[in-house]
Amino acid sequence: MTDKRRSADYKQVSGYVPVELAREFKSICAREGVSQSDALEEMLREWLAKRTAGDSSQPEQPSPPRTIAELVQANMTKLKYSGVKNLQALARGEVLPTPGDFAIITSTLGIPEQEQKMIWQQTFICLHNESNGVKDECECT
């Protein structure tokens, strides 16, 4: 698991919100078993996407998830009550979902069949490359 506090790929952000909003946020995160960092990251991505959707001067939107781990990581909150086990391990790329769990994930997120195939295939291409120590343009986690 990545320790985000020590990772050069992560930066702390902070701000002030009303007390009740903070309490509700913390309560829901705890109840759903989602870290506050993961929830904030998801909210920030959605907020930024909304703000930059029509602004051509902004950098290009982040690419859509290419692997199962990226897909689960980006949608952890939406998948929390889907019935899929091991979401944290899936998001870290430590395990792969069963075909049934993959179907639940993609159905919950409304992912078209063609995109499902691409994500499934890209995941295994990345796993194959990592197991052989091969580094290519595939920026797998």
- Name which of 88, 97, 93 is nearest 140 in CA terms: 93
Both tokens of 86, joined, read 């091991």
Residue 104: Cβ within 10 Å count = 16
**pLDDT for residue 37:** 87
pTM surpassing 0.85? no
**pLDDT for residue 61:** 56
Q: Residues of the chain whose pLDDT is less than 50?
A: 134-138
Residue 71: Cβ within 10 Å count = 25
State how far the Cα of 40 lies from the Cα of 13, in Å rounded to an integer. 10
Both tokens of 91, joined, read 């998001």
SS3 content of the chain, % helix, strand, coil (to 5): 55, 0, 45
Chain segment 51-86, per-residue pLDDT in tens: 887 655 555 556 778 899 999 988 888 888 888 888
In the chain, what are the domain boundaries? 16-62, 63-141
**pLDDT for residue 132:** 61
State how far the Cα of 140 lies from the Cα of 99, in Å rounded to an integer. 21
